[in-house]
Amino acid sequence: MKWVLDASIAVRWYLRSEEDSNARAVLERLLEAPLDFAVPELFAFEVFAVLCRAHAEPITAYRDGVLPLLAGGMFRQPMTGRLADAAAGFVALGLSGYDACYASLAQDLHATWLTFDSRAHRLIAARGISHLLAEGLPTGWEDPAAGARRS
């Protein structure tokens, strides 16, 4: 299973007021199996912007926390014409341009977009490409090492 990681999850790793056990579980999984994750390139910009608004030491948090994760092996999708075309369909459903990029990437990779954005999830829930992390970890979530041991 491939997971598309929303910025709303990553900021919970760095802001004490936003801490969440499901977000922490995603971080643990990301550290164990970075190839299971993907982000649109805008993810880095979104996380940086939030840290600049809400973190006491945003540059340090970004440099020491976020950059190593981005360099750790997860797939980073640049904005292409194909992604933009697919995103336009999600914008028509009511998603913001940013959220539409996450949804489009999930659709393209046959992945699940993990998010804390309940409005965005609700708008596309019928498509089966998103999961609202506030409701718990998704079906099929497991320790990637456990899957390797079973093989």
Residue 144 has pLDDT above 70, yes or no: no
Pull the structure tokens for residue 111: 């992945």
Tokens matching residue 27: 């971080």
What pLDDT, on the 0 to 100 scale, is given for residue 1? Answer: 67
Contact 142, 29 (CB under 8 A): no
pLDDT at 88 over 80: yes
pLDDT of residue 141: 83
CA distance linking residue 109 with residue 145, whole number of Å: 22
Residue 59 has pLDDT above 50, yes or no: yes
10-53 pLDDT, tens digit each: 999 998 878 899 999 999 999 999 999 999 999 999 999 999 99
- Position 115 confidence tier, pLDDT thresholds 50, 70, 90: very high
The CA distance from 129 to 146, in Å, is 24
Q: Which CATH superfamily is domain 3-150 in?
A: 5'-nuclease (3.40.50.1010)
